[in-house]
């Protein structure tokens, strides 16, 4: 037996259609807004289209976006991601640059909201220092283990095993018998 939808649920549009309509409205509003003039103290930056977006951002904004991790597709930078939130972050970076904020202030803004995780290259301080040093420590540990193994093999190869004299006599007799047969 299937449940009938409530009258309120039948009148609501599906979530996907609502999200699509909102995205189209935002895209139309972004195109309708005039481009902000760059501050008079800076040179006009050349624009480069952002990946997966109609918004054009400056080279400085693109460089900052290359340092930040996309919250949706964590293996890509904000500059390379096609996710909607990455496009919004690129736009926010451009707006902050247009407002006169420095690269450090913008990166600090995102670190405050997302933590150090948002940076593609973690800072070389605190617990993150372990991440940077771990490959070096593993390499040194592997080299030390290899040196110890080689030393152990060499000492084992140089020493003769202690065997009772009667066992040695039996081996010598077997070797003589082989030589005589040959």
pLDDT tens, position by position, for the chain (182 residues)?
444 444 444 455 555 556 655 665 565 544 444 444 344 444 434 444 444 444 566 888 889 999 999 988 878 889 888 889 988 999 999 999 999 999 999 999 999 998 888 888 877 777 777 877 889 999 999 999 999 999 999 988 888 778 888 988 999 999 999 998 87
What is the rounded distance in angstroms from the CA atom of residue 99 to the CA atom of residue 102? 9
Q: Residue ranges of the domains in the chain?
A: 41-121, 128-181
Q: Which residues pair with 56 in a beta bridge?
A: 49
Domain 41-121 homologous superfamily, CATH: Cytochrome C biogenesis protein (1.10.8.640)
Q: What is the rounded CA–CA span in Å between residue 31 and residue 29?
A: 5
């Amino acid at each position: 037996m299937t449940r009938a939808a409530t009258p309120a649920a039948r009148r609501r549009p599906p979530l996907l259609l609502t999200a699509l309509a909102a995205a189209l409205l935002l895209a139309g509003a972004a195109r309708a807004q005039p481009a902000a003039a760059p501050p008079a103290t800076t040179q006009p930056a050349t624009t480069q289209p952002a990946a997966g977006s109609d918004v054009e951002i400056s080279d400085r904004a693109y460089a900052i976006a290359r340092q930040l991790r996309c919250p949706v597709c964590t293996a890509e930078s904000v500059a390379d991601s096609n996710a909607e939130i990455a496009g919004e972050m690129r736009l926010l970076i451009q707006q902050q640059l247009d407002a006169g904020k420095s690269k450090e202030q913008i990166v600090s803004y995102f670190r405050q909201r997302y933590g150090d995780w948002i940076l593609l290259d973690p800072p070389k301080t605190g617990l993150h220092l372990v991440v940077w040093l771990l490959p070096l420590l593993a390499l040194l540990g592997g080299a030390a283990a290899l040196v110890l193994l080689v030393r152990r093999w060499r000492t084992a190869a140089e020493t003769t095993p202690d065997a009772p004299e009667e066992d040695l006599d039996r081996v010598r007799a077997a070797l003589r018998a082989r030589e005589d047969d040959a």
